[in-house]
Amino acid sequence: MSKVVKVIVVFTLLTAFLSIKNNTFAQVDSVNSLPVDTAVAATHEAGAVVNHAEAHEEKEKGFDITSFIFHHISDSHFFTLFGHGEHGVTLHLPIILWTNNGLVTFSSSDFKFNDDGTQVVEKNGQRFAIAHNKIYYANATANEHGAFVSHEVKDGAEIVTNARPIDFSVTKNVFSMLLSVVLLVIVFTTVASSYKKRNGKAPKGLQSFLEPIIIFVRDDIARPNLGHKYAAFMPYLLSVFFFIWLNNILGLVPFFPGGANVTGNIALTIVLAGCTFLIITFKGNKYYWGHILNPPVPWWLKPLMIPVEIFGIFTKPIALAIRLFANITAGHILVMSLLCLIFIFNSLWIAPASIFFAVFIGLIEFLVAFIQAFIFTILSALFIGMAVEEHH
Amino acid sequence: MTGTLAAIGAGLAAIGAGLGIGKIGGSAMESIARQPEAASKIQTAMLIAAAFIEAVALFAVVVSLIAK
């Protein structure tokens, strides 16, 4: 208890110290700014210099780290190989839309790297505009900013109010995901066929690389949590484990085939957690459902326990989805922010430290890529195990 | 203003998660030192418990991101 009190006291003192320090800085700033103001008043030339410096400063502050990072972790219709915009090399991904007039397909190069709704693409008698990576039906005329979409400010955030077609496009994330699926299918069919061919012999090549990992999933994840019924769930657990692991690692690769934030996309993690949820729900036996709908507690606790248990059915997969999403997204944001430090301080001297920390966190993320795949799989196995466990 | 509050919230969540994971890591170390032969089992249990704590902290991070 005294330790906790100590921690609180130290923390409060630290906060107080920091706030005092901030105040003194603020005072120094105001003292400094005073002569500058008088200088501006005194000579026009000096004033111009100060104004220029201020404008310069504003331009540097124009580097918006938040939007930069969110642009990098969000999905996109373009896959930039290197460079930026029209000066770089970009893979233009197909746009597939289900509109009011049926299916419409065209290349994302038609949008000419536009992302603020000022470029209109006309296909099948319909007009489309792209804003913040979302495709909308374009307005007939442009607004004062030249955009063909209407904005509405809601709770301080600008929202586009135009109607949207249903978007089945192969985006950056979809492309990366399909790539990993193709890779996994090729690798595992090869390994499976070599197990058939070399039945009873020692593993060879790719087989000897994957065998320890598959055995790890079987002996450390499936067996301890699922008991003797583990074999039925091995295909699911192995698929999920290798899919998440490969996509985590591909997300850490900073150049072309990787770099998409697939497992840091909440939609994908919700689908994966949804698969676990479906298995739990449909494979759950009568003891599992009995525990939820008629828990073995005194009768007066039942009105409290039954709703809690029913909530528990849903919180488990939601926690699974958010854990994977937030871990991977946080990792990407961390690496990007460390690299952004160079541009925030606008100094070359910060670069070595920034890059050192970015590489260091990158290596930790390599470990996290494995740990998160492991955690997702072991928790899936644990929850399924709880649902299929026989009463004893 | 909400951005600052969100940052403070994320920081508080990090303190909580740090205390929790530190405690798990510390006791896992102690138990591995007592029983080195059970190291792999303890590690697995430690990772699962750490994941549960981390999830709570990450909920806070997600809320802070949304509240930005």
What 3-state DSSP class applies to A111?
helix
The pLDDT assigned to B33 comes to 95
B48 contacts A323? CB cut-off 8 A: no
A158 beta partners: A153
Chains A, B: CB pairs < 8 Å: 34
What CATH number does domain B2-67 carry, 1.20.20.10, 3.40.50.300, 3.40.50.720, 2.160.20.10?
1.20.20.10
pLDDT tens-digit readout, A241-288: 999 999 999 999 888 888 888 999 999 999 999 999 999 999 998 889
User: How far does CA A281 lie from the centroid of its chain?
Assistant: 27
A66/B68 CB distance under 8 A: yes
Nearest C-alpha of chain B: how many angstroms from A271?
A: 18
3-state SS class at A143: coil
Closest B-chain CA to A157: B68
- CB nearest to A375's CB, from B40, B51, B62: B51
Contact assessment for residue A372 and residue A244, using Cβ atoms and an 8 Å cutoff: yes
pLDDT value of residue A174: 92
* Mean pLDDT, rounded, for A161-186: 90
A56-70, A333-347, B3-17: the lowest-pLDDT one: A56-70
* Residue-range domain boundaries for chain B: 2-67
Q: Are A165 and A97 in contact (CB under 8 A)?
A: yes
**CB distance A130 to A123 below 8 Å:** no
CB interface of B with A, residues 2-41, below 8 Å: 40
- As given in the structure block, the two tokens for residue A119 are 């470029």
Query: Does residue A21 register a pLDDT over 50?
Result: no
Mean pLDDT of A40-46: 41
Q: Please state whether beta strands A89-92 and A157-160 pair in parallel, antiparallel, or not at all (unpaired).
A: unpaired
Give CA A37 to chain center in angstroms. 46
Residue B1 contacts A where some CB pair is shorter than 8 Å = no
pLDDT value, residue A369: 93
Whether residue B68 has pLDDT greater than 70? no
Interface test with A, best of B54, B56, B63, B66 (most A CBs within 10 A): B54
Q: B55 — contact with chain A (CB < 8 Å)?
A: yes
d(CA A38, CA B68): 38
Q: What is the pLDDT of residue A278?
A: 96
pLDDT of residue A60 exceeding 70: no
Kind of pairing between the strands at A78-82 and A166-167? unpaired
Please give the pLDDT value at position A17.
Answer: 44
Residue A11 is predicted with a pLDDT of 54
Using DSSP, state whether A94 is helix, strand or coil. Answer: strand
Asked if B9 and B60 touch (Cβ cutoff 8 Å), the reply is yes
Q: Which residue of B has its CA nearest to A220?
A: B44
Please give the DSSP secondary-structure letter assigned to residue A78.
Answer: E
* Cβ-Cβ contacts under 8 Å, A382 against chain B: 48
Among A322, A375, A382, beta carbon nearest to B59? A322
The torsion angles phi and psi of A139, rounded to 5 degrees, stand at -75, 165
- Which region among A131-140, A155-164, A294-303 has the lowest average model confidence (pLDDT)? A155-164
Min Cα–Cα distance to chain B from A109, Å: 32
Residue contact B48–A326, C-beta within 8 A: no
Tens digits of residue pLDDT in A118-140: 778 888 778 888 887 788 888 87
Measured in angstroms, the CA of A375 and the nearest CA of chain B are apart by: 7
Contact B59 A326 (CB under 8 A): yes
A135, β-bridge pairs: A130
**Closest residue in B to A221 (Cα–Cα):** B44
DSSP A258: S
Q: Is A5 exposed, middle or buried (0-12, 13-18, 19+ CB in 10 A)?
A: exposed
CB distance A326–B58 less than 8 Å? yes
**The Cα angle at residue B49 between residues A382 and A313, in degrees rounded to 5:** 45
- Three-state secondary structure call for residue A149: coil
Beta bridge partners of A104: A97
pTM: 0.79
Percentage of residues in chain A having pLDDT higher than 70: 83
Q: Is A46 exposed, middle or buried (0-12, 13-18, 19+ CB in 10 A)?
A: middle
Residue of B23, B52, B56, B58 to mutate for A, most A C-beta atoms under 10 A: B58
CB-closest option in B48, B62, B68 to A326: B62
Highest-scoring range by mean pLDDT, A160-164, A235-239, A297-301: A235-239
pLDDT at residue A352 in the model: 92
The larger pLDDT score, comparing residue A89 to residue A191, is at A191
Q: What is the mean pLDDT of residues A337-361?
A: 88
The count of residues in chain A is 392
Listed in sequence order, the residues at least 6 apart from A241 whose beta carbon sits closer than 8 Å to its beta carbon are A217, A221, A373, A374, A376, A377
Residue of B nearest to A266 (CA): B62
Per-residue pLDDT, averaged over A296-316, amounts to 91
**List of chain A residues whose C-beta atoms are within 8 Å of the C-beta of residue B62:** 322, 325-326
- What are the tens digits of pLDDT across the range B12-56? 988 999 999 999 999 999 999 999 999 988 988 898 888 888 888
- Report the C-alpha dihedral over residues B16, B17, B18, B19, rounded to 10 degrees: 50
> Smallest CA–CA separation between B2 and chain A, in Å?
11
Nearest CA in chain A to B44: A220
**Taking 80 as the threshold, does the pLDDT of residue B66 lie above it?**
no
